[in-house]
C-alpha cells in the first residue's frame, strides 16, 4: 500500500490487515470455525469510534447506497433474514466473530498470553486444551490500540473541532445520515449545501 495520507486511509489499512489475518485463521482452522452466514449469535447493535463510522459511511456512499433497511426488532438492526446488510463495510469487531482471539490473561500470576473462542468454535472445547494458542489466534489488543490511536488522529484532522474522539456513534445513525445526504444535491443547487465544507455528518459531532 502506498503512503497513507489520512486517518481514514490508516483505518482502511488496519481493516485490510485484519481481514487478511482472518483469512489465514479460517484456512488454518477450517471447519472448526463454525461461524458462517446466518450465524448471528454475536450480532448486537453497536456504537463505533468516529473514524470507523465515517469510513463505513464513505464506503456506503461510494457503493451508491442511498438508504439502508433496518429491523428495529433485531438484535442488530442491520440484520436481514440473518444476514448483515453492512457486511462488506462492517466494523472491525464484527470481522473477529467466530475466530480464536489472543489476549493477556490477567487472572494468570504471570499474565500469560492465551486464546479464547466462541463456544461454537472447536465444538465448544477450550482452545488451550486442544493446543490452540496465541500464535493460532487473532491479536485483538494491538488491533484495538491501533484503532484508538487512529481515531485520535481523525479527531485532530478535523479542524472544525466537531469530532469528540471519546463519543462513540450508534451505527444505526447511518440510516439517518444516508437519508440526509441523498437530498443534498437539490440543496446544493439552492446554495445551501454544506458538502465539502469539512463539517461532520450528523452524529460525528456527538
- pLDDT-derived band at 4, boundaries 50, 70, 90: low
* Structural domain that includes position 71: 7-189
Is 53 among the domain residues?
Answer: yes
Note the pLDDT of residue 197: 34
Question: Is the pLDDT score of 167 beyond 60?
Answer: yes
The candidate with the shortest Cα–Cα distance to 180, out of 36, 18, 68, is 68
Note the pLDDT of residue 110: 63
Could you give the number of structural domains in the chain?
1
Is 200 among the domain residues?
Answer: no
- pLDDT-derived band at 184, boundaries 50, 70, 90: low
Note the pLDDT of residue 85: 94
Note the pLDDT of residue 77: 94
49-56 average pLDDT score:
98
Note the pLDDT of residue 175: 95
Is 165 among the domain residues?
Answer: yes
pLDDT (tens digit, 9 = 90+) per residue, 185-206? 544 444 443 333 333 333 333 3
The pTM score is 0.81
pLDDT (tens digit, 9 = 90+) per residue, 65-117? 999 989 988 999 999 998 999 999 999 999 999 898 988 877 766 666 778 88
Note the pLDDT of residue 174: 96
Is 132 among the domain residues?
Answer: yes
- Cβ contacts of 24-28, under 8 Å, gap ≥ 24: 25/99, 25/100, 25/136, 25/137, 25/138, 26/99, 28/136
Here the cell at position 102 is 489472543
Note the pLDDT of residue 185: 53
Note the pLDDT of residue 23: 94
Note the pLDDT of residue 190: 43
Interior/surface letters 52-63, b for 16+ CB within 10 angstroms, e for the rest: bbbbbbebbeee
Is 2 among the domain residues?
Answer: no
Of the CA atoms within 13 Å of residue 193, those in its CB half-sphere come to: 13
pLDDT (tens digit, 9 = 90+) per residue, 111-156? 667 788 888 888 777 777 777 888 899 999 999 999 999 999 999 9
Is 72 among the domain residues?
Answer: yes
Is 194 among the domain residues?
Answer: no
Give the span between the Cα atoms of 102 and 7, in whole angstroms.
Answer: 26
Q: Is 177 exposed, middle or buried (0-12, 13-18, 19+ CB in 10 A)?
A: buried
Question: Is the pLDDT score of 3 beyond 80?
Answer: no
Amino acid at each position: 500500500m502506498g503512503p497513507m495520507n489520512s486517518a481514514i486511509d490508516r483505518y482502511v489499512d488496519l481493516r485490510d490487515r485484519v481481514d487478511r489475518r482472518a483469512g489465514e485463521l479460517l484456512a488454518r482452522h477450517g471447519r472448526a470455525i463454525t461461524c458462517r452466514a446466518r450465524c448471528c449469535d454475536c450480532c448486537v447493535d453497536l456504537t463505533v469510534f468516529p473514524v470507523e463510522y465515517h469510513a463505513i459511511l464513505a464506503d456506503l456512499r461510494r457503493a451508491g447506497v442511498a438508504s439502508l433497511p433496518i429491523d428495529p426488532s433485531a438484535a442488530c438492526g442491520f440484520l436481514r433474514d440473518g444476514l448483515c446488510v453492512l457486511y462488506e463495510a462492517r466494523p472491525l469487531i464484527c470481522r473477529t466473530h467466530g475466530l480464536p482471539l489472543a489476549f493477556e490473561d490477567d487472572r494468570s500470576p504471570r499474565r500469560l498470553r492465551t486464546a479464547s473462542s466462541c463456544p461454537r468454535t472447536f465444538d465448544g472445547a477450550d482452545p488451550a486444551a486442544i493446543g490452540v494458542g496465541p500464535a493460532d489466534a487473532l491479536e485483538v489488543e494491538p488491533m484495538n490500540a491501533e484503532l484508538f490511536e487512529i481515531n485520535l488522529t481523525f479527531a485532530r484532522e478535523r479542524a472544525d473541532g466537531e469530532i469528540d474522539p471519546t463519543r462513540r456513534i450508534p451505527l444505526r445513525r447511518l440510516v439517518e445520515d444516508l437519508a440526509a445526504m441523498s437530498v443534498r444535491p437539490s440543496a446544493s443547487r439552492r446554495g445551501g449545501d454544506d458538502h465539502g465544507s469539512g463539517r461532520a455528518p450528523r452524529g460525528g459531532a456527538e
